[in-house]
Amino acid sequence: MERDVQVTRAGDAARERAKPARKEDVAAKRPHRRQEELARKRMTRKKRKRQRILLLVGVAICLALAIICPGTLFFLNQKYANTAYGMRYETNAFTKSLYEDRLYASSLCVGTEKALEYGDFDSDWVGFHEEVVYLGEKAALFDVEHCQTLYSNKVFEKLYPASTTKLMTAYVTLKYGNLDDVVVVGRNATIFEPEAVLCGLQEGDQITLYDLLCGLLLCSGNDNAVAIAEHISGSVESFAELMNAEAWQLGATHSHFLNPHGLHEEEHYTTAYDLYLIFNACLQDTRFVEIISMYTYTGTMTGADGSVRYGTWRPSNYYLSGNWLSPDGIRVIGGKTGTTNEAGSCLVLYSVTSNSSDGAEHPYISIVMGAPSKPHLYNTMDILLDVAIVSANDVANTDSSSGVDSSADGDYSIATDTPSVTDSEVSPDTGTNH
């Protein structure tokens, strides 16, 4: 019994000794737990901090892309818009079949800054060229059939076109307009300076687009030009944008048009070679050739009150009006004049040689811009036409001696369905912009 009691007491004593030890263990373990908790909290804070940083970086990248992408697209669009049309066309549309076709400029005369002396022309050619240079005229002669430039002076120099602008107006009209349309004349087509050349349109008039085009090219009516522009594009400004776009596609990249009539504006300009490109394109349309070859045309206008008026329009071109005789051996088909104080006297002409040694008619385009007066203008043009005659005869003689068909030398196409005109009624040309 005593032994059991001793054992029990010994166990109690052992348990009592063990209690402090366990308390000490617990006290020793508490700092480790706090450190673990602090470590976990630090890890959590670092993790959340990394997440916030990643979120901020992602937002920054998205904002950067939102800013950079539109700017890049705008830059590329501007670069594309400023790229030469020919380069853009080749990049977008080049194929082997296109490569095998004839080149765009294969049927065009190549412009040059150098005056070309025609070797067999026996007049004072040097004196003629010196006079052209002295007078400040821009002049050129193009052999359409053989795609040759026979004479050239300052054809790439910027100039004011005056009413030769109406060639571009006519080209756009023929391309985009329906000549059977009946046009209602707006107020803008009746507001001009007193000295401007007009066809007599009144606000509210109804007139066909064909009649407007005839008055535009023959009489050089500025009111017709505005009526055409507003009918096709809604406004003069929109029509001018269309003119510039079409000129660019024709290769006339040194031109800038602000209006359809050519009344002077500082930023309204072209070059003699650009006018050649535009005129040559117009000549591909038989309707254009038909109109410029007329000696007179009567347009019909129906007023807002129902009354009918008629206007007889004659060419401002002195060769067709009878005010100036063309050289023997030349048949003038037609063209477009232009005159303002800033532009001087201008003429773009289409003619054919009528007495070549081979019996054929050979087409030529001749241009004189910036002449100081009408006599100077037509004297210069006469000499260019004389060169055309000599050139045609020499080419014919060369081809006949070699057995070559001269029409095969150049891949050209000019509308030749000109009407047979017997009415020779003419009148002098007056006005400052024609």
Q: Are 347 and 337 in contact (CB under 8 A)?
A: yes
Structural domain includes residue 300: yes
Could you tell me if 166 and 292 lie in one domain? yes
Structural domain includes residue 432: no
Could you tell me if 149 and 127 lie in one domain? yes
C-alpha to C-alpha distance for 60 and 54, rounded to whole angstroms: 10
> What residue has token string 């940083």?
53
Please give the tally of structural domains in the chain.
Answer: 2
Structural domain includes residue 228: yes
And the tokens for 130? 């010196």
C-alpha to C-alpha distance for 201 and 255, rounded to whole angstroms: 29
Residue 54 has pLDDT above 90, yes or no: no
Structural domain includes residue 414: no
DSSP string, 270-318: B-HHHHHHHHHHHTTSHHHHHHHT-S-EEEEEE-TTS-EEEEEE--S-H
Could you tell me if 173 and 317 lie in one domain? yes
Of 48 and 400, the structure prediction assigns the larger pLDDT to: 48
And the tokens for 273? 């070679």
Could you tell me if 349 and 391 lie in one domain? yes
Could you tell me if 245 and 223 lie in one domain? yes
pTM of the full predicted structure? Answer: 0.70
Could you tell me if 192 and 313 lie in one domain? yes
Of 318 and 151, the structure prediction assigns the larger pLDDT to: 318
Residue 199 has pLDDT above 80, yes or no: yes
Structural domain includes residue 415: no
Structural domain includes residue 136: yes
Please, what is the average pLDDT of the chain? 81
Of 199 and 393, the structure prediction assigns the larger pLDDT to: 199
Residue 19 has pLDDT above 80, yes or no: no
C-alpha to C-alpha distance for 163 and 340, rounded to whole angstroms: 8
Q: Are 300 and 207 in contact (CB under 8 A)?
A: yes
pLDDT of 283: 97
Structural domain includes residue 185: yes
Largest CA distance in the chain: 166
Contacts of 378 (CB under 8 A, 6+ apart): 318, 319, 324, 347
CA-closest candidate to residue 161, choices 116, 66, 67, 225: 225
C-alpha to C-alpha distance for 348 and 368, rounded to whole angstroms: 7
Could you tell me if 213 and 248 lie in one domain? yes
Which of 78, 101, 124 is the last residue before a domain boundary? 101
User: What is the CATH number for 254?
Assistant: 3.40.710.10
Q: Output the CA torsion 211→216→219→223 (10° steps).
A: 90
Structural domain includes residue 418: no
Alpha-carbon distances of 77 from 71, 74, 80, 245, rounded to whole Å = 10, 5, 5, 17
Could you tell me if 83 and 133 lie in one domain? no
Domain extent at residue 377: 115-408
Could you tell me if 89 and 120 lie in one domain? no
**Containing H/E element for 336?**
strand 330-340
**Cβ burial, residue 41 (10 Å; 0-12/13-18/19+):** exposed
Q: Which pLDDT band holds residue 80 (cuts at 50, 70, 90)?
A: low
Determine which of 107-121, 328-342, 368-382 has the lowest per-residue pLDDT on average.
107-121
Q: How far, in whole angstroms, is CA 148 from its chain's centroid?
A: 24
C-alpha to C-alpha distance for 312 and 95, rounded to whole angstroms: 51
C-alpha to C-alpha distance for 195 and 128, rounded to whole angstroms: 33
Could you tell me if 341 and 265 lie in one domain? yes
Q: What is the pLDDT of residues 83-96, one digit of tens each?
A: 555 555 555 555 54
Q: Which pLDDT band holds residue 260 (cuts at 50, 70, 90)?
A: very high
Could you tell me if 84 and 131 lie in one domain? no
Q: Which pLDDT band holds residue 72 (cuts at 50, 70, 90)?
A: confident
Alpha-carbon distances of 181 from 174, 207, 235, rounded to whole Å = 12, 8, 17
Could you tell me if 85 and 125 lie in one domain? no
Residue 175 has pLDDT above 80, yes or no: yes
